[in-house]
Amino acid sequence: MEGLQGVNMARQFRLRPAPGSLDAGAENDSSMLDRRRFMKYTFNAAGGAIAMASLGSVGFAAFLMGQADTGGEDTGVKYWVPKGQEDTVWYGSLHEQEMQKSHLEAEAAKSSTGMSGAQGVWSGMPVNIVYIPHEENESKPPAEGIPRIQYGEGYDAAGTFIGHGREIFDVTLEDGSPDTALQPHDNILLMFSRCPHLCCIPGWQLVANDFTADTWLPGGVDAGGNKLFCICHSSRYDPTMLEKNRNRNRSNGSTFDYFGVRLTGGPAPVGLPLIPFTVEDDVIKGLSTYQEWYTFCD
């Protein structure tokens, strides 16, 4: 199974040489790495080594909140079309354009599960967005092919219970009000898309296999499709199962609790953290409330 998946990936992705062999001068100096070049390589990485080499000593937090080229906050979430996928992903003509809820709804209407998703970029960081027909399905009995947002127990890489996904409704802002932008809303979840294994970028239906097929099973299990899938070493994430979990910053070892979607299989230790967002005039806008959650690849 793993071997066959690897063959399929190689066919469907235009594998690129390591950064050092292309435009060698620029890539070898990670301090000169610009956002566009960084994203190009990480989105097309065929192995963790490429993503890690591209990062070098830059650190992902350096890209947070548009510091890389705007110097200010850039809240809009944009589509990001992986190189070579222009004719295969549904958002192929929308590269770097604003993500809109109506786009996701229209695409979801074409799927058998009513789900849709896309790669994106927000404040210089890779993200995944997934549309789940939660409001339509939440009152129906959990069953195959009827997805909804679920809440489950979260365990860290050592198996320690950290918390339950429903605790997301207890999260408050500094003024004591509930963080409604973090809570699920608008049938959409927005996630930081660096793999907690070796920091490649998981994707939504960028490769075809049993994990990415347009199917869904309840319970946050590894079986069933519509998983976010990391091509580097096949980690899988169920974007419909929310949990509380714990991760750590690789550089300074500090740990932090976060809310995110569940890892269902593969070598990654934990799942992907959520990004709170708003929908304003149909446009998806990310909020930088929990920047620490996105530092585990630093």
Closest CB 56 distance from ligand FES, rounded Å: 17
Closest CB 140 distance from ligand FES, rounded Å: 33
In contact, 193 and 126? CB cutoff 8 Å? yes
* Residue 63 structure tokens: 């890209």
- In this complex, which beta carbon is closest to ligand FES, that of residue 188 or of residue 199? 199
Under the binding rule (CB under 6 A), the answer on residue 198 touching ligand FES is yes
In contact, 293 and 273? CB cutoff 8 Å? yes
Under the binding rule (CB under 6 A), the answer on residue 191 touching ligand FES is no
Under the binding rule (CB under 6 A), the answer on residue 272 touching ligand FES is no
Closest CB 194 distance from ligand FES, rounded Å: 9
**Total of chain residues touching ligand FES, rule CB under 6 A:** 12
With contacts defined by CB under 6 A, name the span among 68-76, 165-173, 192-200, 282-290 that binds ligand FES: 192-200
Considering only 108, 195, 206, 275, the residue that binds ligand FES (CB under 6 A) is: 195
Q: 88: which residues sit within 8 A by CB, 6+ positions away?
A: none
Closest CB 42 distance from ligand FES, rounded Å: 10
With contacts defined by CB under 6 A, name the span among 81-89, 220-228, 230-238, 274-282 that binds ligand FES: 230-238
- In this complex, which beta carbon is closest to ligand FES, that of residue 198 or of residue 270? 198
Under the binding rule (CB under 6 A), the answer on residue 267 touching ligand FES is yes
24 burial (CB, 10 Å; 0-12 / 13-18 / 19+) is exposed
Helix then strand count (H, E) for the chain reads: 6, 14
Distance CA(239)–CA(55), nearest Å, equals 26
- The alpha carbon of residue 87 and the mean position of all alpha carbons in its chain are separated, in whole angstroms, by 21
Helices (H), the chain: 2-12, 24-28, 35-44, 48-55, 101-108, 134-137
- In this complex, which beta carbon is closest to ligand FES, that of residue 89 or of residue 232? 232
Sheet with 125-131: list strands edge to edge: 77-79, 116-122, 125-131, 188-192
- In this complex, which beta carbon is closest to ligand FES, that of residue 40 or of residue 197? 197
Closest CB 198 distance from ligand FES, rounded Å: 4
Under the binding rule (CB under 6 A), the answer on residue 270 touching ligand FES is no
* Residue 206 structure tokens: 């960028």
Binding residues for ligand FES, rule: CB under 6 A, are: 48, 195, 197-198, 200, 230, 232-233, 235, 266-268
